[in-house]
Chains A and B, each alone.
Chain A
Amino acid sequence: MAWISGGFVVLLCMVAVLAPLLLSPDAPFQISNSVLLAPSAGHWFGTDDLGRDVLLQVIWGTRISLIVGIVSALAAGIIGLVVGAISGYCGGLADAMIMRTTEIFQVMPIFVLAALIVAMAGAGETRIIAVIAGLSWPQTARVVRSEVLRIKGLGYAEAARCLGISEFRILVFEIIPNAVGPVIAVSTLTAAFAILLEAALSFFGLTSSDTISWGSTLSTGQRLLYTAWWLSVFPGTLIFLTALAFNMFGDCVREALDPRSE
């Protein structure tokens, strides 16, 4: 499982990095007379209604989907880790205020809000990343907080205190490393969710027309589902597989980081 999911994530990253180097930037936008061709030796994934190669579009779209997924998960994870650790370790008023704030965030429907912001402020992956990270860190923060609360009462935190190790070092070296497991699990879910959200926003046409992502290809395919299945099936399958691979890969990373699981 580790090798399959990890291999898939690595493959996607390589595609995302190599695509702009190997392909000319307008290759996926190249229109031709061969419209709506079924998958064949010349066009593995077929062509769309403007005669553009679907394989090239999917390759090109990998970059956006991955960047959105990984960057927003990283950002949400880091913000959540810091805020959650402060909340759990300090306790008291700071804790109460941070937790009430996260509750406000958690009742907000992310998709509607993201759609609203992108529709009003204009499309762009930076905005999508900011919206996803800005709205999904509270989940991580809550998980981290509960872990920190649990660990700070455990023996080894107390033992470190008995040695005269400073509170800050205890938090950074004893508590947070032991709280990272669940954070990774949540972050991979966020990554998968971000990829899906980006796809959904593109699907609704909330992207600029000069960016190609899996979601925008899927959106074109939706109108032609009965005549050209390949337009929907290939990007759809990739979205599905990527979200799945992220989840599985996260599980494996968490397990690999824990010396107890052998």
Chain B
Amino acid sequence: MNHFIGIPRGLDFYLHYPFWQSFLAALGVPTIVSPPTNRRIVDLGAAHAVDGCCLPLKVYLGHVLTLAEQGVKTFFVPQIISIVRREYICPYFLGLPDFVAHYLPKAGTSILSPVVDARRGELAAAKKIIAFGTRFGSWLQSAHAYHTARAAVPKATVRLDQNRGSAELKVLLLGHRYLLGDSFLNQGIRDKLQEAAVEVITADQIPDTILSRAAGKLPKRVFWTSGRQSLGALERCLEDVDGVITLAAFACGPDSLISDVIQRRARQAGVPSLLIYVDEHTGQAGFGTRIEAFMDMLVRRKAK
């Protein structure tokens, strides 16, 4: 494992993994990803992380420590300042490399932190990433890897407005991608909804330009990318869905504001909305009961 670069399966993984995987592979860098989140990873992260940080950050640390146990010496922890022009993401992403370094032994380990900063647009961000890649090859090779990686990123496809009027229920599922993508943290909510024959719509299925335009209807600009995407998806889909479910991470600052706006907008529009907070103590019973009751409510409303 010594020469492998470890990629923790958390936070940025759910935003950019296809890009980084392709970028590093094109430069011939061997990588290893930590296993899907399990109880042990959550416990490991929660036991070590400082008090007060959010669940996804604790779990990220659990992934880092799991990789370290496997013998990984070099960790890939991007420092993300901004992923969309004139927007920010959560400040924890900004401090992530320093946060991780604190928990690793100083001797024998290193952290690779490309800086992602799109505040001044994509070109400026690309330059920094290509500069980061030059440690594995020439500038030209790195630029080529960048373009290969850009092409590898799956495109969002709009699937709205279809099947309207069919008996099937449509639910808009909102939340950070690292919650919606991690089936341990979200307690398999996607499977639960799909078992109930519900069509699930998420913000990442909708092109960002559409999300931006829809979020523009709000009285004030939202400068957190994830929140802007959630609210954009809400504005875009409110009339097309039977209900909205929001997953929020306990102790997440932006979520505490964004989820409240979601609740209010849904209530104004008369669309049922369910807000669920997840933390490392989340019981399966309460979680399942809420989802089940919410689905019952949607089914009974529709039948009426």
Please indicate whether A and B come from the same complex rather than being unrelated chains. no
